[in-house]
Structure 1
Amino acid sequence: MGGGMPKVPDYRIYKWERVPELVELNNKLAKHGLKDPWISRNIPRNEVWRWHPAWGTAKGRTWGLLTRGLLTGFILAAVSYGARRWYVSAHPDAEHWVDPLVPPRHHDDHGHGHGGHGHGGHH
């Protein structure tokens, strides 16, 4: 474990001319007589790595970012659900627990057609 610095790639490997997406973009612009100053100034090497094949495609990186931790989240949700089911089965009164910080709701006076309004409903 440990020991030493990680090997840093030689900066000269990162050239925009080796990136198919950037070459294609440059060619499309050239067909219309346009030039991207970012590309024409040999894109700073600290940006070209983003397109390097070792880092995958933009879609792949986006998918990886969005799904990172998803499996862990599902596992934690399943464990939480299972723990709650076990607790409720071991402590039957737990299902009827009332949070003392939440005011009780009264369902008999909210006016949604449960009788008692004096409007001639069915009795």
Structure 2
Amino acid sequence: MGGHGHGEPYTVPHPSCYKVENVPQLLKVKEALGRQGLSDPWLRNEAWRYEKKAFGTHGSRLATFMFRGLGVGFCAALATIAVEYALGIGKGQGDHGHGHGHDDKKDH
């Protein structure tokens, strides 16, 4: 299924590569739980979220989220303006349709 014989689309890392001790935020949680006499056996399962190599930092993810597609959108806006200008669309609409054939001059 999927891949069409090109091999696995990804490799699943071995769970032992993710350790709470490698993540300062999770280590603080583990220590706080330890002070209360508690432990979280599933805490290691959250360590992958903090791997900067695979997921970047919080700031880089935020920048990607905010600016993804900005270049394409800007180019599309320029293309739209160029096409409207070339076809004459939008010219003479500065009066917002209030002309209706009436002269601006008063009757004599």
Does 1:95 pair with 2:98? no
Whether the 8 Å CA contact 1:15–1:48 is kept in 2: the answer is yes
Q: 2:8 matched to 1:26? A: no
Q: Percent identity?
A: 25
Counterpart residue identity of residue 60, structure 1:
S
Change (3 A) 1:77 1:35: farther
Q: Following TM superposition, by how much is the alpha carbon of 1:48 offset from its aligned partner in structure 2, in angstroms?
A: 2.2
Q: CA deviation at 1:3?
A: 0.5
Q: Which residues of structure 2 form unaligned runs of 5+?
A: 100-108
Instruction: Look up the match of 1:52.
Output: 51
The structural deviation recorded for 1:52 is 0.7
TM-score, normalised via structure 2 length:
0.61
Residue 106 of structure 2 corresponds to none
| d(CA) in 2 for partners of 1:29, 1:83 | 62
Structure 1 residues 78 and 34 mapped into 2: Cα distance closer, same or farther (>3 Å)?
farther
CA distance in 1, matches of 2:37, 2:81: 57
Say which one has the larger Rg: 1
SS for the counterpart of 1:12 is helix
Unaligned regions of 5+ residues in structure 1, if any? 98-103, 108-123
TM-score, normalization: structure 1? 0.55
| CA-based RMSD | 3.4
